[in-house]
Amino acid sequence: MTAPQQNHSSPIDPAKLDRLAEVAIRVGLRLQAGQDLLITAPVTALPLVRRIAVHAYSAGAGLVTPFFSDEALTLARYRHAADHGFDRAAGWLYEGMAKAFTANTARLAIVGDDPMLLAGQDPAKVARANKAVSVAYQPALEKIAGFDINWNIVAYPGASWARRVFADDAEEVAVRKLADAIFAASRVDGDDPVAAWADHNAALHRRAAWLNGQRFAALHFTGPGTDLRVGLADGHEWQGGAATAKNGVTCNANIPTEEVFTTPHAARVEGHVSSTKPLSHQGTLIDDIRVRFEAGRIVEAKASRGEEVLNKVLDTDEGARRLGEVALVPHSSPISKSGILYFNTLFDENASCHIALGQCYAKCFVDGARLSPEEIAARGGNRSLIHIDWMIGSGTVDIDGVHADGSRTPVFRKGEWA
């Protein structure tokens, strides 16, 4: 058998790509011996998928099963498929995924496609197709949102994504720049990324422990275009960095991550808030988002760009107009300091404090692993087919923690921990 030819001219550093694969398995998933692994990835990320498989099997994985997407195939559907087909999704596939997760299969998602791939397509069809997938995926999503299993998301510098982020550069230069940015944000550009992640997790755990010790009833955000009081769910718990899933595995769900986060109370959000970074969603850039909450629900929503798509998102279901997450990220985070707009929530949310419309996470409650969906709802946890983060933090935003007696403790001043 002959060894495959290596592409020595690739703008992606192979050593750092291998470290990213190692971190995905050893830090992101902490894959257990004998555990199966399900991977979803764009076909352009095949070099990373191959390295992940090597590290997974070296860690004792049972079976590694990848599912690939392709930009050209996705566009072929929108350009040539019959209209009625956009209300359908491959339910059999998602049922199989839910069955796999029930059997303790780990989940790894790799992002890397052009985040604006569908920008030129009919937004109504895009919304219909995404809603169909959301409905079909619900049984599998419940295992993810409930943190039943160890799961992780990492990124690969696909060429079309790189051209989007670095539009003024030649493709090879753009890919190299995006790869270097991903490696730096993912903490794999040093000699011992596993140790670097251990230190970073410890720092995030200290932040979460301080917030949990405060037991705030609410957070009050103030800044340009923002005066928002986010009530926190009863029995909420702050999380950050590595956390333990219900299957007993401690993992880092997002690589990179700079946030500490918890669950708002679905009925206790009041005031107005403005976005501080654009949101890339369903192929549309939604910019200058301005919403007003009453009794936890968005009652007014505006955007200078992408407003139609924003309102379609809010109409997904009843929970889409309520919050499922609030997260704190200092303005000085490495991703913020890079000055790069990634058009990808995995990265952009780690540049700024943010809130998420839709589904909450069960792990953000004290003893959340033991709570039923009904008990989570009774404590204020939101339920929805969506979970969409958008950024509301900047160097001009202050945050106060509000105690049950009305007293206040500074949490952020001018975008930094107080």
Do the strands 398-402 and 218-223 form a parallel or antiparallel pair, or are they unpaired?
A: antiparallel
Is residue 238 assigned to a domain?
A: yes
Predicted confidence band at 145 (pLDDT cuts at 50, 70, 90)? Answer: confident
Q: Does one domain contain both 217 and 87?
A: no
Residues 60-114 pLDDT 10s: 999 999 999 999 999 999 999 999 999 999 999 999 999 999 999 999 999 999 9
Angstrom distance (rounded) from CA 252 to CA 151: 8
Residues 10-43 pLDDT 10s: 899 999 999 999 999 999 999 999 999 999 999 9
Would you call 120 exposed, middle or buried from its count of C-beta atoms within 10 A (0-12, 13-18, 19+)? Answer: exposed
Domain count, the chain: 2
Q: Does one domain contain both 146 and 44?
A: yes
Is residue 7 assigned to a domain?
A: no
Angstrom distance (rounded) from CA 246 to CA 148: 5
Q: Does one domain contain both 218 and 323?
A: yes
Angstrom distance (rounded) from CA 393 to CA 349: 10
Angstrom distance (rounded) from CA 392 to CA 330: 11
Is residue 120 assigned to a domain?
A: yes
DSSP 30: -
Q: How many CB atoms lie within 10 A of CB 130?
A: 21
Q: Does one domain contain both 145 and 238?
A: no
Q: Does one domain contain both 222 and 96?
A: no
Q: Walk across the sheet containing 106-111 and list its strands.
A: 64-69, 37-42, 106-111, 151-155
Is residue 6 assigned to a domain?
A: no
CA distances from 309 to 60, 352, 384 (A): 44, 22, 17
DSSP secondary structure string for all residues of 343-371: S-HHHHGGGS-EEEEE---GGGBTTGGG-
Q: Does one domain contain both 281 and 367?
A: yes
Q: How many Cα atoms are found within 13 Å in the side-chain-facing hemisphere of 129?
A: 18
Would you call 353 exposed, middle or buried from its count of C-beta atoms within 10 A (0-12, 13-18, 19+)? Answer: buried
At 51 the pLDDT is 98
Angstrom distance (rounded) from CA 220 to CA 104: 39
Q: Does one domain contain both 233 and 374?
A: yes
Q: Which helix (H) or strand (E) holds 92?
A: helix 91-102
Q: Does one domain contain both 160 and 225?
A: no
Q: Does one domain contain both 231 and 375?
A: yes
- Those residues whose C-beta lies under 8 Å from the C-beta of residue 161, and which sit 6 or more positions away, are 112, 113, 114, 115, 178, 343, 344
Is residue 3 assigned to a domain?
A: no
Q: Does one domain contain both 301 and 263?
A: yes
CATH number for the domain including 30? 3.40.1830.10
Q: Does one domain contain both 144 and 226?
A: no
Residue 7: pLDDT over 60: no
DSSP 305: B
Instruction: List the domain range (segments joined by +) for residue 404.
Output: 212-249+257-417
CA torsion sign, 326 to 328 to 333 to 339? positive
Place of tokens 């109504």: 124
- Those residues whose C-beta lies under 8 Å from the C-beta of residue 316, and which sit 6 or more positions away, are 131, 134, 358, 384, 385, 386
Q: Does one domain contain both 222 and 178?
A: no
Is residue 269 assigned to a domain?
A: yes
Predicted confidence band at 6 (pLDDT cuts at 50, 70, 90)? Answer: very low
Is residue 202 assigned to a domain?
A: no
Residues 249-265 pLDDT 10s: 999 999 999 999 999 99
Angstrom distance (rounded) from CA 137 to CA 124: 20
State both tokens at 230: 């986010």
CA angle 313, 316, 319 (to 5 degrees): 100
Give the pTM. 0.90
At 3 the pLDDT is 44
At 405 the pLDDT is 98
Is residue 291 assigned to a domain?
A: yes
